[in-house]
Every structure is written in C-alpha cells, then in structure tokens.
Amino acid sequence: MPAVEIDAQGMHYTPLNRQIREAVTNGATEIVLKNIMGQRFIGDGLTGTATITVEGVPGGDLGMFMKGPTIIVHGNADHAPGNTMDEGLIVIYGSSGDATAHSMRGGKVYVRDDIGYRGGIHMKQYVNKKPVLVVGGEAHAFLGEYMAGGLIILLRLNQNTNMPFAEMGLASGIHGGEIFVRGTVEDWTLGIGSAAREATPEDLASIKPYISEFCEQFGFDPAVIMASSFTRIAPVSARPFANKYTWE
Amino acid sequence: MIIGSRPLKFQVMVDHDQCMLCGRCVENCSYGVYRMEDGKIRVNSRNCVACHRCLSQCPRDAIMIAERPCDYRNHPVWTDQVRENIFKQAESGKILLGGMGNTGDYPIIFDRLVLDACQVTNPSIDPLREPMELRTFIGKKPRQLELKYGPGNDVELKTKLVKNLQLETPIMIGHMSYGAISLNAQMAMAKAVSESGTFMGTGEGGLHEALYPYQNHMIVQVASGRFGVDVNYLDRGAAIEIKIGQGAKPGIGGHLPGEKVCADVSCTRMIPEGSDAISPAPHHDIYSIEDLKQLVRGLKEATEWKKPVFVKIAAVHNVAAIAAGIARSGADAVVVDGFRGGTGAAPAVFRDHVGIPIEAAIAAVDTKLRQQGIRNEVSIIASGGIRQSADLTKAICLGADAVYIGTAALVAMGCRVCGTCYRNLCTWGIATQRPDLVARLNPDEAAVNVSNLIHAWTLELAELMGAAGINSIESLRGNRDRLRGYMLDETMLDVLDVNAVGA
Amino acid sequence: MCGIIGVIDKTREMMDGSAIREALAIMDERGSGEGAGYVAYGVYPDYADLYAIHVFYDNIIEPKTKVEELLETWGMIEHDEEIPTYESGRMRKVHIPWRYFFRPNRKLMAQSHTPEDDIVTKIVMTVNTSIPGALIFSSGQNIGVFKASGWPEEVADFYRVEDYEGYLWMAHNRYPTNTSGWWGGAHPFNLLNWSVVHNGEITSYGTNRRYIESFGYSCTMYTDTEVVAYLMDLLARRHNLSPEHTVRALAPPFWEEIERMEPSEQQLNTAIRLTYGQAMMNGPFAIAVASHDLLVGFSDRIKLRPLVVGEHDQRLYISSEEAAIRTMEPSVKKISMPRAGQPIVGRVVA
C-alpha cells in the first residue's frame, strides 16, 4: 500500500486524528502529514505499527498514550511529546518543549536537538517495559525529575565536553531508572536522592544500542560519541522520602 | 478555717499491681507527691502540679493522674476557677500569680483561618524535588534601589544595604532569660538554632559564658532592668532587642524570684545572690517615642552601627500606631507579642485580660506600615501562641516576616505546661536553677529535640507553600488572599483583611 | 491556559493586525472563547503626543459625563469618538468603547517629575474605582488596546484590527478563571504605555497587590495580571530600573544560584531580592510586556508556562507556541526557548 498523504492545512486535530485512524484501519503503514501547524494530540492513543511522518510544527502532546506506531517529525515539537506513551517510537528532527516524555511507560523518544524543562519527568518502568529518551543537544532544569524507571541519555553534542552539565534539579527525587549525561555534571546540579559517578564500560555497553539507533536516525557517528566519557546518575534509594514522616 | 479544703486539683493514683517499687517517682518528683512507706508507694495528691515527670519515668505505666476528680457544683458563670480564685484572694488579700500563658476562654483566630492549595489553574510545587526558599532576612530594606547604568552592561549599585539577620527558616526562639530557665535549657536551644541556621533571644538575664560559642545566633536583650547589659554583651549578640513589653503581662515589669537567683545567675545579672531581680514596668529612660529613638541610637553607637536593633512590644490596642512609631525610630525590626505569650510568672489578671491576640496585631501592624509606605523600614516578628507550623504559616500570610516560639521550644524539651515555673522546682530541669534538677536536662539531647521541631515545622511550611504554588517565602508574606476566615465575624475579617470561606 | 503572542519591529516598520489575528487564532485551543484582545503601538500617529484613553461605557449618559468632567478638570480633550466596532455573530456591543485624545495640564501636578503620566494614572485609578459604568482599559500615547469577550478572531473582527497599523503588537487569548466573560478582564492590561499579556496564575497576587497599593496604585480589574503592569511602571519607570533588572526583580534567581555568582553580581542580586521581595511574582506564568520602544518576555522561575522566541531580521516574536510565530512568519530564521526567568528584550533601534 502506498503512503497515505493527509494535508492538514487549517485542519483541527480531531478530524486529523480521525483520518489517521481510518488510514491505519485501512492497512496503511506509511502516513505523511503535510502542513502541520500547531495541531495537538497527533497520534494520541493510536495503536498498531504504522509510521507517521509529520511535516511542520506539531502542537503539544504528540504521541500521547500511543501504543506501537512510529512518529517522525521534521521540525520542532511542542510540549510533552511522548506524554504517557506506552510503546512505539517518536523521532524529532529538531527540538521539543517542556516535559518531553512526561510519565512515559514504554517506547522511545529521540530528539535530535534540545528539550525544555523537566524532560523525562516521572518516566517509569515495569518488568521489560522500559521507556527510553535520547536527546542529542541540551536539556534544561529538572531533567529526570521524579524518575521511577526507564533511561535518559543526554548527548550534549553541540557542547564542548569540557563544559559540565549545569542545570539545577537533575534527577531530583529519582527513585528508579538511570540517566546518562555525556561528559561531566556539576555537583550542585544533582537533585535530592540522586547520585552520580562515571559510567563504567558495562554501563556504556548497556546504552550502546540506543546510541547506535539514535545515530542511525540522525546521521551521527556512534563511534565518536561512544569514545566520550559519560556520567551515570541513578537513585540513592528506591524510597528517598521514606524518612520524612512520623505517625500522629 | 472559714473556707476549708477545696477539691483536689489533681488526683494521683498508683496501680499497686503494676508498680514494681522502683522508686523512680519518689526520686523524680520535686513537689513532694510520693513517698515510699511500708513497702508501698504512697501519694499526697495535693502537691501534684501535673508535670508528668513521674509518669514519664515510670517503667510500668503504673501512675494515673486525673484532673479535678471532684467537681464543684456546675455553674456557667461561677466556674471552678472563679470560685477558687476568690477563695485564694479572700484568704490572702493578694494578687493572683500564674505561670505560662493566657488561660482565658477566647477563640483562637488561627484556628478559624484556613489555608489555600492549588487545583488545576496552577500547579502545586513539590518542595522535595524543586527549590523551596524559606530564607528570610530580618532588618531594614531599602524602599527603592538606585542603579547607575554605564556603557554596555555596566551597572553600579548606589544603594547601601544595612545589615540584616539571615534566617534559613522563619522560626526563631524568643527571649527566655537565664534565671527564668536553666543554663542547660538555654544551651540546648542555642545549639539547636545554630544548627538550624536561625536565632534565639537571651532574655534579660545576660549571656552566660557557656553560650559564647553560639553568640552569632543569639539576640541579646536590653530590658528595663538592664540586667547583664554591658558593651561586651552587646558586642557578642548578632542583634540587640529592646524589650518594652511582653504579651503575657503588658504594661508591667518582671520579677525573678530570689529562689532562682543562684550564684551563676547573680553573676550574669550582676545582682546579689538570692535577691529578687526586679525589672521596672517601663524603661526609665523611655517615657515617650522620641526616647525610644535615643535608646536605639545609643545601642547602635555603642556597637558602631553594626547590629540590627529590634524593639519588642506587647500587642495592645493601639499596636499598629506604636509599631509605626517604632519603624521611625531607626529600629530594624518590631517584635509583636500577642496576649497568648508565655511567661514564667505573671499576675493572672494581666495574663488573661490585657492585650490583644497576635493574629489581629500582625494584620493591623502590617496594614498600617504599608499605608504609611514604611513596611520596608522594619521587619515584623510575631510571637505569643505560635503552637504549630500552621500558626507560623498563617502568621506569615497575615504579614509577619518571622515568628518567635517560646513555649513550643520548652515543650520540645519535655515541658508539660504545668504552669509552675516560678517555684524553681521544674522537674524537667527547664525552669529551675536547682542543680540536681538542671542536671536532668541533657543539653545535647534536648538540642536534638528542639532542632527536630524546627526542622519538622520547616518541612511542613515548605509543603504548605508548595501546595499553594509558592516557592519563596516572600510570596507568602502578607499574602492574605491565601487565607480564608471560617466562622469569623465581619469586623474581624475586616481587621484581618481576609475573605470568608467560599468568598 | 491562555495563549500569548507579541511582535516588535525594531525599525518601527508598520504591520497591520491581520497577521497577529491569524497567529492568535491558531492558539484557539488555549482559550475558551470568553476573552481576547490586542494592543498596537503607533496606531494613532495623528495624535501621537496625546494620551489615547480608551473607555468601556455601560451607557453614554451618566458615566460618560463624569469621566469627561474628570478629564476636563485635569487637562483637555482634543478629540474624542466612539471606537468603531462591527457587530456580527455573537459579538455584541456589551459596552460602548470610546476613545479620547487627552492632553493633561502638567501644571496641575507641579510637584511631580512626570506630571502628565501621574495625572493620567490618577485619572485611570479614579475612574476605575469610583465611576460605576466606566472602565479605562487603555491610556498610553499613540497606542491602543482592543479587547472584548469572544474568540480571538471574533474580537479581531469586532474591532477590525486589520485597519490598525503598529510597529509593536501583542495579543492574548483568554481562558478565564477569575472573571469569566467580563470585558475588563480580557488582556492586554494597560497603564500608560505599559501593556501586559499573561498566561498563568500569579500565586503571589495578594502580596504583590498589597505591595503595589502601598505605592498608590489601585487594583480594580479583579485579576492578577494588572499588577504586572503596575509593577513594571513602578520599577522600570518610577525607580528607573532597566527592563532586565525589572524582570530580575519579578522573577529573581534562586538564592543557591545567587551564591554561585561573582561577588558584584551577588551583591546586586541580593539587593534586588531584599528590596523587591514583595514584587517578586510566584506561580506559573509566561508574560509579555510592551512599552513604546520595548517588548519584554519572561516566564516564572521554574518555567511552569511555555514561552518561545522567534527572531527574523528586524523582528522579534514572543509566544506561547512556535506554531503561532510560524503563522506570522513561516520562514522565521531562529526559534529558541528562553530559560526560566530570563528576560527576552527587543528594543527599537530607530
């Protein structure tokens, strides 16, 4: 079946999603959305394995609750792409807004450039469902805040590796999962309940498949990236706040 | 013997089946309730003040204390208390004296104010994971900044800032003097405030040498008796506080009974051992507001203008105007002590009937200072009946910069609020100078308790602020929009400038 | 939720209101159809040095007489007229929008350094607090606010914003929480040359309001946004702080950040926080503020609301969404997301 093309010029997101669902129901595996301008919820709750290519600037909550499909964005995404996503892949050839990969429970989000504040906030994992967020550029404060599971990799490719990561609240309240930052991080960036150390060869081996896949998407050289040192940030405890309360 | 015996205030009962005759109650009671007789613990309930020391030390939970097990005939006007007061005064012809704060049956305004929380329109902030700023600066602040802009990004700060006290949490411990309380109690609190990044007051009993290591966290008091005041004392304090009055007994002076003036107390106060330490009602160099300015300046001159000077007043009817006068005196902070403030001893008639509640006083003072455009001239420290973090939070919403706690800190060290501080028999080693009793209070352990209390309240304050979507204390201060009055009358709501619930 | 957008042409090249109408409409999802508004700078070139006072009248009998009496007391009305509006669909003239071109008599406030501004401020506060049925919602020179209840495109068509030309525009699409449906509650809020559009809720409003009222401002709009205009006026005009330092006071760095600064920066930032602690705004917000030669955008200290910046030649865009900027300028050269509390300042160069 040839790729289905939808011209979204001036279209509201509800009819747009309806058309996407129809195409998927009809067996489309490739869907191209033209002239996207700020439409929210693209692929919201969509299941299956179709690949949706977005041309333009999608609105917030791209791929929200999505279970399976792939979304490729040629442009920047707005807030919270991958919000509570379950399975599938989102690839953004650009940057994305605040709360990228919010509460993600499975699947992968790859952002070529930067993400906003609170990236990967409260990502979680269960048995073999482990969400992955890989960011090529920079992230702002509260990256991996509240994180209960999953994996975040921050590559900082536009940054001289001598410049340590310097945004507050990194992994603040983390109680599961792990974050890898290329290069080093300033001590003061670490939020409550997190601890950092240099990544070991075993650690690097564990993230290598994602970095390779990321590089394949965007045309970077994985060998160069893997040659850098990484910092691994992980929880000190699975119950960071257990000590805070006393009974009345 | 016209009047004869009255019903017991407290009845002490020992469960002899449980009692293992360890004798700890006999040993611990300084009021003479217990004795060991014929292989049994015997009691004299009439001596009991319900300080609960015995209970706390009994390994078998064998002691029970009941309050007033025998009632007077019930009468809503002629209460037990009223009748007993008349008995005592008929017998003695004297002024009634009592310890601790106001016992009057007034509604507590704090308990009729409720706080706000975010839902939907703004997110609550999780103070555990995101920054929550409680840092508070006590002192004068400029009304406006003067910045001089040069070429490029060049900027010069032309305004000179004066010294402020930097608090990591807006909870300080108020003034309780060495003499009124023991050195161990002061030591414990001094350690706690130093560790918590806040401050405590010395009271007017001078500064004992043992406290010198904590002097950077101590506010030295200059009261009408001027006990312990010399230039060494003034230099050591982080700030100086002039005490004009106290919420527990506005308008009258103080009286430390000679029993409590032991050798050490006599030395720090520079008065003979065993003599009463009497503080006059007014400062005899302050008979008018301009005289206050003289004392503020006198203290600033003596300390080369390096120390903030606070002025403490009891919350009386005209508290707002008085505070405005204080703001113009050059003082850096005004301490307003509400009518629930504690004390070692005060005439009951003052304690229960003079002054106004702190909630109304804060609101009135903050409003008046704003109306006159001088709110930045002074910080407002509220005290008198701050029992919990909710009171603290509400006090700040009403306009206070920080609070002083007193009784709460003592309770953290074991005090049961029995109200007999003036007898020098405090079984907890707090309000006594008797060496054997003082030795019961381990300053290091007590410091942990006080510091825990400050820490716990600080956590709760942070949570309340976070729930209200506020991440810095400046945005809570005077934010009366985040309060609502529940069952407060309209006049009271007007004074507080707070809306009713639902409004 | 609300959507905001602002644009400044640094060379003062004029833009009509049609593009910003489209940009605001792309963010319809952020509003509820109960309020929208536009402000444009440079719209009244024929009366450029006069104060353009826009008033909502409930009727044009009593309140109008009273407002005019007040204006005549403090200066001279050089021209006045009803603001042209075009009813259609559900857009009805709930209030009658009127405009005056007013010249204050500076001699009447001789003690002031800025007598005209102070006279106009006084008039605004007096009318809005004590003349029922009249509300001044725009009071600057050569600028005009156009707002009402409705969707962005409805309000734009009601005033025909495409008929106005300005070098600086801001617009706002409202999702009201405090004062639904009230025309006065729509943004932009304006005082003198300051205009504000705001997305979010200011949790420190009670503190900010009490602070600003102690400097003689009266909050009359029952909503948190108006304090921003007054705070800008106080700090940037009366206290002469730069726009950057004003923003620093309203959304200051955290103490832990200040502690990491160089000593002189540390001293300056501490002084700002101590002096202007009550001006600091808390809660989630993204704000754009405009004055004659200036467009400033900033978000709250922990970035709880979105803010996107677009740069294209001499134009600077600030908006809640990139899509809105691209609607106005499809080939925008640079898009970025400012840091929390970071002031984004666009100044006219000509």
CB contact under 8 A, C337 and A95: yes
Residue B476 identity (one-letter amino acid) = L
Tally the residues of chain C: 350
CATH annotation of A95-241? 2.160.20.60
**pLDDT value of residue A13:** 96
pLDDT at A161: 66
Give which of C115, C246, C129, C134 is closest to C192, Cα–Cα: C115
Q: Is residue B154 part of a domain?
A: no
Cβ-Cβ contacts under 8 Å between A and B: the total is 24
Catalytic residue among C1, C2, C263, C332: C2
Around Cβ B396, how many Cβ atoms within 10 Å? 28
Q: For chain C, which residues score pLDDT lower than 70?
A: 1, 178-180, 350
Phi, psi (rounded to 5 degrees) for B357: -65, 150
Contact indicator for B269, B227 with CB cutoff of 8 Å: yes
β-strands B483-485, B499-500 pairing:
parallel
Exposure string for C254-292, b = 16+ CB within 10 A, e = fewer: bbebbeeeeeeeeebbbbbbbbbbbbbbbbbbbbbbbbb
Domain count within chain B:
2
| Cis geometry, peptide bond prior to residue B213 (ω within 30 degrees of 0) | no
Kindly determine whether residue A241 and residue B128, on different chains, have CB atoms separated by under 8 Å: yes
pLDDT of residue C175: 85
Q: At what angle do helices C243-250 and C263-276 cross, to 10 degrees?
A: 60
DSSP C238: I
- For residue B486, being part of any structural domain is answered with yes
Residue B254: what pLDDT? 82
Q: Which residues of A touch B130 (CB under 8 A)?
A: 142, 145, 169, 172
For residue A34, the SS3 value is strand
CA dist B12 and A204 (Å) reads 71
Report CA torsion sign: C10, C14, C19, C24: positive
pLDDT score recorded for residue C179: 66
C101 and C45 Cβ atoms separated by less than 8 Å: no
Is B124 part of the contact surface with chain A (CB cutoff 8 Å)? no
Q: Distance between CA C229 and CA C227 in Å, rounded? A: 5
Distance CA B398, CA B492 (A): 13
CA distance A117 to chain B (A): 12
Residue B111 inside a domain? The answer is no
Can you read off the two tokens belonging to residue B373?
A: 């455009």
Given a contact cutoff of 8 angstroms between Cβ atoms, the answer to whether B424 and B260 are in contact is: yes
Are the beta carbons of A197 and A217 closer than 8 angstroms?
Answer: no
Instruction: Give yes or no for A192 touching B (CB within 8 A).
Output: yes
User: Residue B301 half-sphere exposure, CB side, CA atoms within 13 Å?
Assistant: 6
- Look at residue B42 and tell me if it is in a domain: yes
What sign results for the dihedral spanned by CA atoms C130, C136, C137, C140? negative
Bridge partners, C199 (sequence order): C286
Q: Which residues does B409 contact at the CB level (< 8 Å), separation at least 6?
A: B173, B189, B192, B450, B453
B367 Cβ contact partners less than 8 Å away, ≥ 6 residues apart: B320, B399, B497
Residue from B399, B402, B325 nearest B139 by CA:
B402
Domain ranges in chain C are: 3-43+142-347
pLDDT, residue B219, reads: 98
Q: Which range marks the domain in which residue B62 is found? A: 10-94
B122 inside 8 A of chain C by CB: yes
Domain boundaries, chain A: 95-241
Q: Percentage of chain A with pLDDT > 70?
A: 100
Check B129 against A172: CB less than 8 A apart: yes
To 5 degrees, how large is the angle CA B204–CA B210–CA B211?
Answer: 55
> Taking a C-beta distance cutoff of 8 angstroms, is the pair B327, B374 a contact?
yes
DSSP string, B53-80: HHHHH-TT--EEEEE-SSPPPP-SSS-H
Cβ atoms < 10 Å from Cβ of A239: 10
Residues on chain C touching B126 (C-beta within 8 angstroms): none
Say whether pLDDT at A44 is over 70.
Answer: yes
Q: Which CATH class is domain C3-43+142-347?
A: alpha beta
Q: How close is the nearest chain A Cα to the Cα of B182, in Å? A: 30
**Residue B146 burial class via C-beta count within 10 angstroms: exposed 0-12, middle 13-18, buried 19 and up:** middle
Listed by number, the residues of chain A in 109-168 with a beta carbon closer than 8 Å to a beta carbon of chain B are 142, 145-146, 168
Handedness of CA C177, C179, C180, C186 (dihedral sign): negative
Per the domain annotation, does B37 fall within a domain? yes
CA pseudo-torsion sign A209, A210, A211, A217 = positive
* Ramachandran class of C125: left when φ > 0, alpha when ψ lies in -120 to 50, beta otherwise: alpha
ipTM of this model? 0.92
Residues C194, C142 contacting (CB under 8 angstroms): no
pLDDT in tens, B349-373: 999 999 999 999 999 999 999 999 9
B118 and B124 in contact (C-beta within 8 Å)? yes
In B, minimum Cα distance to C267 occurs at B157
Q: Which of B122, B131, B375 sits opposite C214 (nearest CB)?
A: B375
CB A138 within 8 A of CB A114: yes
Instruction: Give the span between the Cα atoms of B414 and B363, in whole angstroms.
Output: 32
Tokens of A102: 């919010």
- The torsion of the CA quartet B182, B187, B189, B192, rounded to 10 degrees, works out to -160
Average pLDDT, chain B: 95
The CA–CA distances, whole Å, from B399 to B87, B438, B454, B498, C284 equal 44, 38, 20, 12, 23
Q: Which amino acid is at B359?
A: E
Measured between CB atoms, does B128 come within 8 Å of chain A?
yes
For C24-37, b/e burial (b = at least 16 CB within 10 A) is bbbbbbbbbbbbbb
pLDDT one-digit tens code per residue, B302-325: 999 999 999 999 999 999 999 999
Contact C302/B125, CB-based, under 8 Å?
yes
CATH of the domain at B27: 3.30.70.20
Task: Tell me the backbone φ, ψ of residue C346, rounded to 5 degrees.
Answer: -115, 125
Computed over every residue of chain A, the mean pLDDT equals 95
Nearest CA among C168, B301, C332, B413 for reference residue A56: C332
Token code pair at residue C11: 């060379």
- C86 touches B at CB < 8 Å: no
* Residues 6+ positions from B269 with CB-CB distance below 8 Å: B179, B205, B206, B227, B228, B261, B277
C2 tagged catalytic:
yes
| Side chain identity at residue B494, one-letter code | D
C308-312 and C334-336 strand pairing = antiparallel
Q: Do B128 and A168 touch (CB under 8 A)?
A: no
Contacts of B254-259 with CB under 8 Å at 24 or more apart are B254/B204, B254/B223, B254/B224, B254/B225, B254/B278, B254/B279, B255/B279, B255/B345, B256/B177, B256/B179, B256/B180, B256/B205, B256/B344, B257/B345, B257/B422, B257/B424, B259/B423, B259/B424, B259/B433
Distance CA A185, CA A152 (A): 15
pLDDT of residue C219: 83
Measured between beta carbons, the chain B residues lying within 8 angstroms of A142 are 129-130
Confidence band, pLDDT 50/70/90 cuts, at residue B425? very high
pLDDT, tens digit, 9 for 90 and up, residues C13-59: 999 999 999 999 998 888 888 889 999 999 999 999 999 999 999 99
| pLDDT band at residue A102 under the 50/70/90 scheme | very high
| Integer angstrom CA distances of residue B152 from B147, B389, C109, C178, C248 | 14, 48, 35, 42, 18
Listed in order, strand segments (DSSP E) in C219-322 are 285-291, 294-299, 308-312, 315-319
User: Which of C249, C106, C116 has its CA nearest to residue C192?
Assistant: C116
Q: Is A158 a residue whose pLDDT tops 80?
A: yes
**Nearest CA-CA partner of C336 in C300, C302, C312:** C312
> Does the pLDDT value for residue A1 go beyond 80?
no
Chains with 3 or more CB pairs closer than 8 angstroms to B?
Answer: A, C
Tell me, yes or no, whether B78 and B170 share the same domain: no
